[in-house]
Amino acid sequence: MNGVEEKLIDFITGREIVDTTDERVRQGIERFLIEEKGYTKDDIEVDRGFDVVLDEKTNRAKVDLVISLEGKRFMIIKCIGGSLSSWEREALACARIFDTYVIPLAVVTDGEDAEILDAATGKAIGHGPREIPSRHEALEAVKRIEFKGLSGDKREKEKRVFWAFESIKSEECGFHPQ
């Protein structure tokens, strides 16, 4: 190895990024969402950072992709190069604490497979990237959904679950104690 990191250009942002397995998964999903599911680049936040405050400590975390429509965050997507089931609980916790309300869908994907999860119930409601809702389907869903937050105790529990997963990761993967 020559010590030079390979780079690629993010499909949505146009920024140069380090080429990793997880990043290649994300690039494929970004392209799929836009070219096949009808989303626009403006609908999708990439590497969206947010703070998790727990026990008076603040940690900066990131979510790979956040899809928003009609001013509401509708879906988070975690892109990974490994087992989907290992990351489902973290994705659910993220969808439950990222905003003041529970983001309705949490998706975990390796690019070939995907688990689409109802963030309120934790139940799988779809399997495979083709079952990720299209932009049209998402717009219809946003009109019907009542966006609700969690009670204080439940929110704190989800923060602890999320923090436990994040603390396992290295700083390279987006965990930044402050």
- Of 93 and 3, the structure prediction assigns the larger pLDDT to 93
Report the C-alpha gap between 12 and 18 in whole angstroms.
15
Average pLDDT over residues 124-138: 97
Q: Is 160 exposed, middle or buried (0-12, 13-18, 19+ CB in 10 A)?
A: middle
- What average pLDDT score do residues 51-56 get? 87
Give the pLDDT mean for 89-107. Answer: 96
User: pTM to 2 decimals?
Assistant: 0.89
Going 83 to 91 to 110 to 27, the CA torsion angle's sign is: negative
- The domains located in the chain, with CATH, are 13-177 (3.90.1570.30)
| 111: amino acid identity, one letter | G
